[in-house]
A and B are shown apart, each in its own frame.
Chain A
Amino acid sequence: MNGQRHFNLLARVLHWSMAIAILAMLFVGAAMVVSLRHRELLLDLHRPLGLAILLLAIVRLANRLRHPPPPLPADLPQIQVWAAKASHWLLYALMFAMPIIGWAMLSAGAYPVVLFDGVNLPPILPHSPVMYGFLRPLHGVLAYVLFFTILAHLGAALFHAWVRRDGVFSQMARGK
């Protein structure tokens, strides 16, 4: 088998580990904003996990640019090709945007950006109620966009795996 028919090992490891991390992040985020007792605990998880996702996204993008993904099947309808490409770039954009917006909004809200007890990140925006009041709701809205894009991605992946059976799923699931 030739290697171009599959994502390389680094891409696959990053894909599956980030899939778990990002889904966990979305559920933690959804739970913490309505929690009366566990907000702080969840927030303490949310911030370092968000930074970890941002760092992994950088590695992942660099790897993707160096190692182009395997081609989609030639018989895939044009609309599905377009949907696949658009959703992938949307997922990449949100993987970067969500942690950066989170960091920026805490900075604009004059909150300390606590990574671990005693270790803070520097602010990346000055204290600005106007910026905070814009970025905080944006963070929430984009979280829903990310969640629904992931669901569409999951649905499409399972469609390739179970209905089309065209090898697209195994490009990411297996090395050979």
Chain B
Amino acid sequence: MTRPTPRRGSLILLLPIFLIVAFLSLLFAWVGGWFGGKGVTPQAMANTAEASGSPQPGFRRAHSKGICIVGTFAPTPAAAQLSTARVFSQASTPVLGRFSNPGNDPHAPDNKAAVRGMALQLKTDDGQEWRMAMNSFPFFASSTPEGFQAMNVARLPDPATGKPDPEKMKAVLAKHPEIAKFMEWSKSAPTPDSLANTRFNGVNAFRLVDAEGRERVVRWSMRPHAPFVASDPEQLKSASRDFLGEDLDRRLAAGPLQWDMVMQFAAPGDPIEDPSKAWPDTRPETRVGTLTLVRAQAQAGGPCFDLNFDPLILPKGIVATDDPVLHARSAVYSVSFNRREREISSGQANASNGSAQ
């Protein structure tokens, strides 16, 4: 069957075709952040962490120094009333975790680590998974990721002097006054002399969802059974580079170490989306379980090294709040993880020696 030759359209019509394709290209580039900056990005925050020290291919961009830990979590009977998460009804859940020091130097001396981190992964028999990343500070430095980023940029050495410019920090504190409170805390708070007697705080708020669908806003913490002992500033000066890990090994050789997991409940009006504001100590609390650590292992070649402890990996029964710092942590950890796994994959990360090749 022959068809009549169609009447061709004018070549002028190439113009609208070009404009449609160009518009879609520009829209895609804008959405992807190639131009028209939309404020702080996770990439910018990871860049700042990288700029704070020398390149450490294969390692986390922050909290680079760490130790893998292994143990179990056992819930209290009260826990299952608060959330349907299987971790609160299963008798015992295996735990893989990581203690960490702040900063981007994976070999930093422990006596410089005023803040410490505890990250955990709990996988239950229903296939659900819970990852959390806690810190020894009782509240976060800033209300927003923008404030945190501004603080870290102000801490970078000025290219002219090789030192941070105090004027920049003053400007940041004027714009984000809550940061001053955190700086006060880090100057005055005594540092525990061991990881075993350090309390770790979730800082960000989450919602526990019970069997009736009722939601309770909580912040959690891990409270050590080992009694608090402040480290002596004089002894700290001469302490060995890895004294925290050595102390942990010594204590674990003598027996397991335990922490109580405690949920603190928000009262109406408490700042749920501002992790820089701790809730009053008078808020009701419930102990929901016990974390027992039995073994520690170097992160190089250890099972915790190539895990992203993304605090938004939550089991059914635990839901994130809109705390912007919580969401930013998840986004920045992802960028850090992508960068370092790429370095490992492309063979640039021999120094980290940490991947299961």
Instruction: Please report A residues at the B interface, Cβ cutoff 8 Å.
Output: 26-27, 30-31, 33-40, 109-112, 117-118, 120, 127-134, 136-137, 147, 151, 154-155, 158-159, 162-167
Sample (21) of A-B pairs whose CB atoms are under 8 Å apart? A26-B28, A27-B27, A31-B31, A31-B32, A36-B40, A36-B331, A37-B327, A40-B327, A109-B341, A111-B313, A112-B129, A130-B344, A132-B306, A133-B342, A133-B344, A147-B28, A158-B17, A163-B14, A164-B8, A165-B7, A165-B9
By secondary structure, the A interface counts as helix
Give chain B residues whose Cβ lies under 8 Å from the Cβ of A154: 20-21, 24
Contact yes or no, B344 A129, CB < 8 A: yes
Bound CA–CA A131/B24 (angstroms): 32
Give chain B residues whose Cβ lies under 8 Å from the Cβ of A35: 41-42, 331
Interface size class, chain B: 35 or more
Contact yes or no, B6 A34, CB < 8 A: no
Contact yes or no, A30 B32, CB < 8 A: yes
In angstroms, how far is the closest chain B Cβ from the Cβ of A42? 10
In angstroms, how far is the closest chain B Cβ from the Cβ of A31? 5
Give chain A residues whose Cβ lies under 8 Å from the Cβ of B14: 159, 163
Instruction: Determine whether B142 belongs to the interface, using a CB cutoff of 8 Å to chain A.
Output: no
Instruction: Please report B residues at the A interface, Cβ cutoff 8 Å.
Output: 3, 6-11, 13-14, 16-18, 20-21, 24-25, 27-28, 31-33, 38-43, 45, 127-129, 145, 306-308, 310, 312-313, 316, 320, 324, 327-328, 330-332, 334, 337-338, 341-346, 355-357
- Among candidates A127, A134, A151, A167, residue contacting B306 with C-beta atoms closer than 8 Å: A127
Give chain A residues whose Cβ lies under 8 Å from the Cβ of B3: 167
Closest A residue to B10 by beta carbon equals A163
Bound CA–CA A121/B294 (angstroms): 31
Give chain A residues whose Cβ lies under 8 Å from the Cβ of B10: 163
Give chain A residues whose Cβ lies under 8 Å from the Cβ of B330: 39-40
- From known contacts A37-B324, A165-B7, infer whether A30 and B31 are also in contact, taking CB-CB under 8 Å: yes
Contact yes or no, B21 A151, CB < 8 A: yes
Bound CA–CA A164/B17 (angstroms): 13
Q: Which 7 A-B pairs have the closest CB atoms?
A: A133-B345, A30-B32, A118-B316, A34-B33, A133-B341, A162-B13, A129-B355
In angstroms, how far is the closest chain B Cβ from the Cβ of A151? 5
Give chain B residues whose Cβ lies under 8 Å from the Cβ of A163: 8-11, 13-14, 17
Contact yes or no, B328 A37, CB < 8 A: yes
Bound CA–CA A129/B357 (angstroms): 7
- Among candidates B9, B129, B310, B343, residue contacting A133 with C-beta atoms closer than 8 Å: B343
Bound CA–CA A27/B330 (angstroms): 20
Contact yes or no, A166 B6, CB < 8 A: yes
Give chain A residues whose Cβ lies under 8 Å from the Cβ of B7: 165
Bound CA–CA A39/B327 (angstroms): 7
Bound CA–CA A136/B334 (angstroms): 11
Bound CA–CA A33/B41 (angstroms): 9
Bound CA–CA A162/B21 (angstroms): 15
